[in-house]
Structures are given as structure tokens and as C-alpha cells.
Structure 1
């Protein structure tokens, strides 16, 4: 597993093994939320010469009509349902359902949202000009019921709105709480999924088999971080350097320092104090850097010189998928069968002296100061907390990897860890940019499937479940 004991993040993929170019990630739809880009068409066919007799047409924000329909929070999903019946058929009604469910591999899906609209029913009269049925308690409709025998072409427009929140519980009998509607989440070999579906149902009546036509839809809640401190904002706009925690305490989250003991060149016992600060607020958008400020303190100048080299630092963005009844608990115990960590990115560090114009000194007696950042890739899945499936991120500083220094700290165990949130959009009017000097680039992550035991087992369980459902 290497020094960090975590697998790299897998390439995004759909639950059926299709790669993410067919599942519209948020990065593929950076557009005004009011713009509809594609019409997606789904059909049911029949006969020896296949002909579509039921069509579902959906308008969405996705660039490619071959991908899944894409929607943001509180969007209206619009489209139409069409029938083309060559012979008379018995149909009592046509409904459209927008539903959401979580799925943990090896278990039954757990629905958390459902909204049903009736496009037509016999009691709504003429299927070409239906009259809405009054709500419960309203006056009875005087519309003459239509015959369930339909032939020819019919078309019904629909509009259904995604809510911002929903009620869900951690267990089947547990109390329901209000949560933001989670984003779609699906990856190859994942232990859990969040799926939304649009389903058309052709109701045939008693003792007849209904017909259904369904498609998954992608939902991504859009959110921006709050603005940074005035000093940090000014430095972004002017292209200046970061202002450190001493001069701008409002702009940083300074974490408690840790002391590390070890042996230097196998000859003497040494100690260093490490302090890590992250730029605030601790909410970052896709394709943006997480600013870091690192301070080393020690009575041994040789140790400081050794550890303050950029290659000595191991900083990572850890992604943790939590599943099960306690997935929404931020203080949950991390068990190997319900917790799936991955490396989602790596940090880079550079001496403060390489960023011209800084007001703080990089080297002082008994102290070294460095800057750094962890880039959040545009392909990163946004974080969310929801019953049974949650996705969290943390920036972690691991023990040093410096030749000549042997630490007593256990390898792979973070010295410092700080939870952050990942959202879709940058701060209004403040495009993200890297502060790294030229030549400082994070090591690329290898894109390969997880091969560790727990996730391999999850892969196998998923494949068995998927084929049994098919």
C-alpha cells in the first residue's frame, strides 16, 4: 500500500461499469442554471419490426444528449410523454414518478424521496385534453370519464420540481430528519450509491401488467463557499501573496501543533513542533486550491533545514465514503466494512522565500515557515452527509519522509487532520488560482481500480447483486 496506506481515488464510473463520460459530472455542465442544453429521448418498442410506442423526452442541462439528464438543486424537470398506439389498447392511466434512493451493495434499495404526477387517467376525461383531478377535499369533477381503450397518438407535457431538502432516517424505524437533497453518487465498485429516477408507468388496470419506462437522472446541488477574509480576498484579486495567520488571523484555521520525536542521522535524538493552518472558510470549490501555512520549530537547525525541504512533506486530501446506519454521524467509529478511504489529491509545499513580497520571514532562529496547497480536482465528487451514504474530505499531514530522519510517529497515521467541505462553484467574483511558484506540481495520482481486500469484496458483491437484478 506504500507510505500512506490508502488507495488512490478510482476514475468516476456508473454503477453498471460505464465510464463517467456517460454520466454528466458537474464539470461538464458549467453553465447558467437556466440554460437547457439537451433533449434526452427514451423509448419502449414492440413488434417484430421494432417501433417505439412509448416515448419519454426529458430536457436537461447536460451537454450531451447521450449522457444522463443533468439537473441542479430546485430545478424544474420538464419534458413530455408520448404514446403511439397502432391498435386499440386498454390503458387506465399514465403517471410520471421522480424518485430517489440509496443503495448499499448486498442490501435492498432504501427510498428517500418520491413525487408522482398523473399525466392522464380515465377520470380526467379526453386523453388529448385532460382535465386535472381536484385535490382531496375539493369539489368533485364534472368531467365525463374517458374510455380506457386508446388508439393513435397522444402527448402530455410535464414539469416536476426537485426539492432542496428531504426527510430521511438512519434506520427503517428511526426518526426522520431534514437533510439537503444529496447529489447523485455512482462509481464502479462502490459500496453504495445515490440514484434518482424518472419513471413513466402505463397503468393497465386490474389483472393486467403495467408497463414502465425509466431513466436515471443526475442531480448536483450547486453551492458556493462563503467569501474569505478581506486580506485574502485582496491578495487573490491583486495577484499578491498570501498573508499568514499572524497578520490575518481571520483568514486561517490554525490547528493545534504537534511535537514529533526522532533520530537524526542515527546519531542524536531530536524534536520538532509542527503547526498547520488552512485557509478559511473550510469550504472549497472544485478545481480550487486549499491554502496551507506550515510552521516548523526546533532547537536543532540541521533538523529544520532537512525537514523544510518540500520533498519531506506528505500531505494528502483524503476522501472517505461512509455507508450503513451511522453514515450521517460525523463522530462515527470508522470500521473497515463501512468506511472506504481513498487519496483524492496530494499537497505541495514551497519555502516562503520563493514567494516574493511576503511580509513574513521564512527562516528565523529555531523556526521555518512554508506555504503550500492541496488542489481539488475538477473531477472530485462533492461532499455530502446523508443517511446510509455520506462522502467526506479531510486534509491530512503525515509523518515526514526525509532521508536521515527517523521518526517515532507511526507511518501512515496522520499527524494533523482537518475536515473540509467540497462544493461545486467558486466564491462569487473570485476565480480560484494557484499560488504555487513555477515548477511546483503535485504528484499525479495513478488512475486504477481499488485492489485492496475490502473494496475487492465490495466489487464482487456489487457484480453479483447487479446481475441478479438484471
Structure 2
């Protein structure tokens, strides 16, 4: 891709660019708010949860979270600690409490039954137990005497639990122990399975009495980032110049296998067109940025080229597949997956300047990019839960062209991450007026027939 006009920076679309330079992670929500560094210097936002007795709070759990991410629930980034306090206000006649613990839990939930809930993270911090002695006494190096009396009055315990980056759980048909990175919180209306995180305050009592529990949910965002792009692409981003195409920067592009487009034009002449779709390497992209694309068509039928090289007839979208196990037993014979599939809006395309300089009359080249929404769930895998992405090239839908293809022409697995690669940020190169929203997408592309799923 060549030319003299400098493309705009992708970050220029952020209404708060002054905060963009200090961020490592795209925002958690679909808006374009300030983004978050691993360790924030901002004042934390406090969330409070209570157990009440006769309309009066007697057990209070507080969480401290970053205000910029925690709009409705406390939200934490990989590398953070879950921190806060537990406060008890007990009656004067005392309360027979044996333990006070705070637990950090992560769950895959695919139904209401116990077999449809899988705990992949369970970390417990004991704030107090009878074995620790009298909670009113100052800490001592000597072994404390077990405290068996009732507690009364007011007690406050701070807590801080580091969120691990990974966890080891049984997975697969044979429940082999495997290591997984913690996935992002996932809770969507039309998807049965969800990833949920919670902090649980448990006030333990003896076997004859029921423990009191207080549960608060929180959001979690992993820090995943793609490898650095090719040197020529980094240079283009840094100098605000146009990207070099696959012929000039072969290290920067992944060419999908050539596919043959077959069909009829004007309902009377059969044509075959060679098509090659190229994606920017590495095949890992940060949400909120773009996937650069190049499409090359080749045939001796110039009329077919002119019909198919029109940007509006090229249908490339990102397919998201959510996979989860619907059988809680997960045995070898009954291990089964359920897929939830949805597609993004179309990629945008424009004529390549390289094509204008190509001496061959039998080829057409168009440049494109697929804009990734900032609130996309990243690629993830946890036990029997997956979020996967595939770039899909659908059959062309051109006027006067009847395609013989009924299945997608090309598929390529890609990864969606939450943080940017080292080096300069990606930029958008779509000319003004080429932006597209779901409302602009033709119905047959935005809601493909079942044969494309």
C-alpha cells in the first residue's frame, strides 16, 4: 500500500486522548472512557455489602476498586489485589463465631444445577479463627491460646488477596490437570454459559448452626497482548505513513490459501476468479484496534474483475464462537460442547494505490480493515469453556454475479487480546467516509443464513 497522504492515528478517535498515552489496557466497557494501567494512582472506589439483623447491619464487607473501570461492579485487572475490610458489630450478649474467612472464587456457570457449575478458582484467607486466640489481644510471637468464648462488640479486619494469573484445574474428557489463564468475566443475555467471579465472606459457626455468607460479584480483565508486528509495520505506525502490502512486506502478512470463486455473470457466462486474502501478522489483535486486510483477485475475464473488486460486495466479518460443556459429568462418552455463534459488522474496503500502479490488467487489489469493538470479550480458554474468533470471507454478493458458492470461501483463526503489543499503536487507514456500522450492513451479510454458520 503506497501513497503520500498520512493516515490518522487510531487513538485520535478516543475522546480522552490525554489519558490514552498513560494506558496499557483498553477500557472494560463499550464506551471510550479512560483506560487503566496495571497499578493505578487514582483514588479507589469503595463498594459496600452488608448482612442485616432487624434492619441493622452487623456484618459489612468492603472492596476497593479502580473508579475508572468499576462503574456498576468492582472490576480488577490482572496483577491486582482484591483488598478491603470486614467489619462485625456483634451484640453485647455475644455471638458464637468460630471463623471469619474471605474467599476469592471463579466459576463457569451453564445452568442452575450443581453439575452445571464448575469452580476453577478458590482461594481463602482466614481473617480470624478460634485457634488465633482472643481477637482483642495484640499479636504475639508466642502460640496463642484457643479462644472459645463468644465474640461481642466491634471488630474490623483488613484483607488483601492477590489475583493469580493462572490456575490449574481438571479438564478434558479424562479430567487431566491443566494450567489455564484466568478468563475475563463473561455474562451475556443470549449465551447460556457465563464466567463469574465473586468474593465470599463466610462467618463460620459450629456444626449445629448455619454459617452466615455474604457474596459480592466482581469483574476481572486479563492482561493479554499480541507479539510485536513486523518492523515495516511498526515503522509505518511510528511515522504515520501508509502500510506496505504483502509484496513489499512479506514478513508482515499472512496469506490464506488461494480460493477459486465460481459463478455466472449476467446469467449467461461462467467465470472462475482466483482470490487471495491476506491478514496482518501476527494473527493476534487488540480489541478497540483494527485487523488490516488485503484482497487480491485475478482472472482474464476483466468484466468479472470489475464486478467483484467493488468494496461493497466483499463480505469479511469476524465470527465469535462460545463453546462450553453442557454435561456436568464430562465423561469420555458424554463429553459434549454447545456453540453460540455471532458475527461482527463487515470489514471496510477501498481501492489499493498499489493496484493502480500494477501493470497487470488481470488483477485487482483492494485494501481493507476490520474495526474491533473496544468491549469485545478476549480470546480465552478455561476448562470446558472457550471464546474463540475466526475471520470469515463469505461468498461475494455482486450485482449481475450469481455465485456458485454456498459456504464461506476462507476461514482463519485469530486471537483477540486486551492490551497493545510493544511499540507504536495500530492506526486506521480507511479513507474518510468508509466507516461502517451494523446499521449500514446489508441484511444478507449481517444476518447470514444458517448454511454459513
**CA RMSD after TM alignment:** 2.8
TM-score between the two structures when normalised by the length of structure 1: 0.81
Match for residue 443 of structure 1? 437
Match for residue 300 of structure 1? 301
Match for residue 415 of structure 1? 409
**Residues of 2 paired with 1:298 and 1:304: CA distance?**
7
What secondary structure is seen at the aligned counterpart in 1 of 2:251?
helix
What secondary structure is seen at the aligned counterpart in 2 of 1:40?
strand
The answer on 1:61 being equivalent to 2:66 is: yes
Aligned-residue offset at 1:128? 3.7
Match for residue 316 of structure 2? 315
Q: Is the Cα–Cα contact under 8 Å of residues 316 and 345 in structure 1 kept in the other structure?
A: yes
Q: Could you list the runs of 4 or more consecutive aligned residues of structure 1 that deviate by over 4 angstroms after TM superposition?
A: 26-29, 129-132
**Residues of 1 paired with 2:351 and 2:136: CA distance?**
72
**Residues of 1 paired with 2:370 and 2:222: CA distance?**
23
Match for residue 223 of structure 2? 222
Aligned-residue offset at 1:445? 5.4
Q: Mean Cα displacement is larger for which, 420-429 or 313-322?
A: 420-429
Q: Is the Cα–Cα contact under 8 Å of residues 40 and 66 in structure 1 kept in the other structure?
A: no
Match for residue 46 of structure 1? 53
The number of residues matched between the two structures is: 406
* 1:269-321 residue CA offsets vs partner (Å, 9 max, x unmatched): 11101100000111111110100011000110011011111111111111111
Match for residue 402 of structure 1? 398
Match for residue 462 of structure 1? none
Match for residue 124 of structure 1? 132
Q: Mean Cα displacement is larger for which, 361-370 or 188-197?
A: 361-370
Match for residue 350 of structure 2? 350
Cα distance change, pair 310–45 in 1 and its aligned pair in 2 (3 A): same
Match for residue 387 of structure 2? 391
Q: Mean Cα displacement is larger for which, 143-152 or 268-277?
A: 143-152
Aligned-residue offset at 1:204? 1.5
What secondary structure is seen at the aligned counterpart in 2 of 1:30?
coil
Match for residue 373 of structure 2? 377
The answer on 1:253 being equivalent to 2:258 is: no
Q: Is the Cα–Cα contact under 8 Å of residues 78 and 160 in structure 1 kept in the other structure?
A: yes
Aligned-residue offset at 1:223? 2.0
What secondary structure is seen at the aligned counterpart in 2 of 1:95?
strand
**Residues of 2 paired with 1:25 and 1:85: CA distance?**
40
1:80-229 correspondence runs (5 A):
80-87=85-92, 88-105=94-111, 107=113, 108-129=116-137, 131=139, 142-171=143-172, 174-229=175-230
Residue of structure 1 aligned with 2:361, choices 361, 365, 376: 365
The answer on 1:270 being equivalent to 2:271 is: yes
Q: Is the Cα–Cα contact under 8 Å of residues 234 and 423 in structure 2 kept in the other structure?
A: no
**Residues of 2 paired with 1:178 and 1:390: CA distance?**
14
Aligned-residue offset at 1:197? 1.1
Cα distance change, pair 259–173 in 1 and its aligned pair in 2 (3 A): closer
Aligned-residue offset at 1:129? 4.8
TM-score between the two structures when normalised by the length of structure 2: 0.83
Q: Is the Cα–Cα contact under 8 Å of residues 28 and 375 in structure 2 kept in the other structure?
A: no
Q: Mean Cα displacement is larger for which, 427-436 or 398-407?
A: 427-436
Q: Is the Cα–Cα contact under 8 Å of residues 110 and 326 in structure 2 kept in the other structure?
A: no
> Where does the alignment leave 5 or more consecutive residues of structure 2 unmatched?
1-26, 329-335
**Residues of 2 paired with 1:349 and 1:326: CA distance?**
43
Residue of structure 1 aligned with 2:80, choices 75, 84, 104: 75
Aligned-residue offset at 1:150? 1.3
Q: Is the Cα–Cα contact under 8 Å of residues 191 and 323 in structure 1 kept in the other structure?
A: no
Cα distance change, pair 130–392 in 1 and its aligned pair in 2 (3 A): farther
Match for residue 7 of structure 2? none
**Residues of 1 paired with 2:37 and 2:276: CA distance?**
41
**Residues of 2 paired with 1:191 and 1:265: CA distance?**
46
What secondary structure is seen at the aligned counterpart in 1 of 2:322?
strand
Match for residue 281 of structure 2? 280
> Where does the alignment leave 5 or more consecutive residues of structure 1 unmatched?
1-22, 135-140, 328-334, 455-470
Aligned-residue offset at 1:238? 1.6
Match for residue 23 of structure 2? none
Aligned-residue offset at 1:74? 2.8
Q: Is the Cα–Cα contact under 8 Å of residues 170 and 325 in structure 1 kept in the other structure?
A: no
**Residues of 2 paired with 1:66 and 1:271: CA distance?**
54
What secondary structure is seen at the aligned counterpart in 1 of 2:340?
strand
Q: Is the Cα–Cα contact under 8 Å of residues 167 and 179 in structure 1 kept in the other structure?
A: yes
Cα distance change, pair 363–120 in 1 and its aligned pair in 2 (3 A): farther
Aligned-residue offset at 1:172? 7.8
Aligned-residue offset at 1:215? 0.7
Q: Is the Cα–Cα contact under 8 Å of residues 107 and 121 in structure 2 kept in the other structure?
A: yes
Aligned-residue offset at 1:267? 1.7
What secondary structure is seen at the aligned counterpart in 1 of 2:344?
strand
